[in-house]
Amino acid sequence: MEAKLNHFAPDVRAEALQELLSLAEAGSIPLEPEADVGNMHCHTFFSFNAYGHSPSSLAWLAKRRGFKLMGIVDFDVLDGVDEFLSACDLAGVRGSTGIETRVFLPEFTTREVNSPGEPGVCYHMGIGFTSGQVPQRAAGILADLRQRAIRRNQAIVDRVNAHLDPVTIDYQRDVLPLSPGGTPTERHIVLAYSQAAERLASNVTQFWADRLDMANAQVSALSADPAKFQNLIRSRLMKRGGVGYLHPSPDLFPSVQELHELTVACDALPCAAWLDGTSAGEQAIPELLELLIGKGVVALNIIPDRNWNIADPVARRLKVQNLYDVVQLAGELALPLNVGTEMNSFGQKEIDDFEAPELAPVRQAFIDGAHFIYGHTVLGRVLGLGYQSEWAHAYMPSRRARNEFYTRLGYAVPPGVAGVSMLEQLDSTLSPADILSALSA
């Protein structure tokens, strides 16, 4: 039944979720007790999830494992938003949704930021979407994100085909069917090449040894772990220095302003993304965040595991301190935190280790940030009073005041239909203080 949650047909997923929740309610499926943890950055199979999770599957995962909060983020699309939020309602999970893309930041053209080896290019996000339906005034931006991704993918395939010939793929035939929404990523392209090599190469090990400039023994050893081997293929062929690599330019990626325009039009929140503080751009993080705040950023995303779970003790000390520094700076700049594990690469966790000693000093900031984005999302969905609403700006002109209100709201509103029902009883003309008072009563 859990496998059916990842079927490409929406009705199959919906039926499987209902059945699993019924079994859980009847006591036939044990549920772990709810814990004060959250994963607010999980990719779904609408971009790429390493374990195949659909939006419904991630909502069920949170319910089964007792994750208090869960959020999805997909590259270039909002295809999973409505399904995930509906599934969270049914499952009783505090949910949020977002979009991620790479943008071109001309002010940092000479400095690498959070996209390794790509000066001027930044991974950037919008979080807190309340619907996958985009207002007409911003629909063209979302369509353009999809088209840019398609053009980049097709250009990569053309270049890599020339290098791997006679093992070639057709984008329409071999890549698009791997994604339920027709929005594949580089990881889907790598999978298509891996499958093509199995079909077309007379000696698969020798083929990859020749094309990746490696010894047969190395290929044989690495290919025993298909996930790691696919990551190697992507790194060698599609990242900087590879034959499929596309040099960053404004033509390839949207601007920060375009992504912000789409995000704000949907009453969602522009969100910067932090890597680990070691790049030239992130070593100038006060300058970078002040620049992005000036362009509309109101939150900061962090992937904690890559900032502390590191074997090298010297690198770990450096990156843990960088993490503490950026969390402190985010607090000073009134930027709530959105944290998670991504799950778009094999080996990434279902949930961060919130009990790790390294995360103790920042744990509360992580949990508060998750409740903030849930509070905004649920009030925006039910009463149209999200962070970007005229109501919010009128009553709470400062970002810090809005942060405090939506965080408190996120703690006060229970998940699922209970929370929706509670909010539906409120008058949408109430002040923020009156809303919190009514909820506490």
Q: What is the CATH number of the domain that holds 408?
A: 3.20.20.140
* Residue 64 token pair: 């089964």
Whether 202 shows a pLDDT value over 80: the answer reads yes
346 pLDDT band, cuts 50/70/90, is: confident
Helix (H) or strand (E) holding 271: strand 269-274
Judge contact between 415 and 94, C-beta under 8 A: yes
39 and 150 assigned to the same domain: no
26 pLDDT band, cuts 50/70/90, is: very high
Stronger pLDDT, 117 or 378, i.e. the higher one: 378
What gap in Å lies between CA 405 and CA 395, rounded to an integer? 11
300 and 202 assigned to the same domain: no
386 and 319 assigned to the same domain: yes
Judge contact between 253 and 117, C-beta under 8 A: no
What gap in Å lies between CA 56 and CA 39, rounded to an integer? 15
Domain that includes residue 223, residue range:
145-238
181 and 296 assigned to the same domain: no
What gap in Å lies between CA 292 and CA 187, rounded to an integer? 29
**Tell me, what's the pLDDT at 252?**
83
Helix (H) or strand (E) holding 120: none
100 and 179 assigned to the same domain: no
- The pTM assigned to this predicted structure is 0.94
The C-alpha R_g of the chain, in whole angstroms, comes to: 22
Q: How many percent of the chain have pLDDT more than 90?
A: 93
The answer to the question of residue 370 being in a domain is yes
**Tell me, what's the pLDDT at 251?**
78
125 and 151 assigned to the same domain: no
pLDDT digits (tens, 9 = 90+) for 64-93: 999 999 999 999 999 999 999 999 999 999
The answer to the question of residue 435 being in a domain is no
The answer to the question of residue 243 being in a domain is no
Strand-pair category, 67-75 with 299-302: unpaired
Helix (H) or strand (E) holding 188: helix 186-200
**Tell me, what's the pLDDT at 227?**
85
Q: What average pLDDT does range 190-205 have in this prediction?
A: 95
**Tell me, what's the pLDDT at 239?**
87
126 and 161 assigned to the same domain: no
Whether 130 shows a pLDDT value over 80: the answer reads yes
- Structurally, the chain folds into a number of domains equal to 2
What gap in Å lies between CA 279 and CA 215, rounded to an integer? 32
Strand order in the sheet with 67-75: 35-42, 67-75, 94-104, 121-127, 269-274, 299-302, 337-339
**Tell me, what's the pLDDT at 250?**
75
The mean predicted confidence, pLDDT, of the chain is 96
123 and 184 assigned to the same domain: no
298 and 373 assigned to the same domain: yes
114 and 22 assigned to the same domain: yes
53 and 80 assigned to the same domain: yes
The answer to the question of residue 436 being in a domain is no
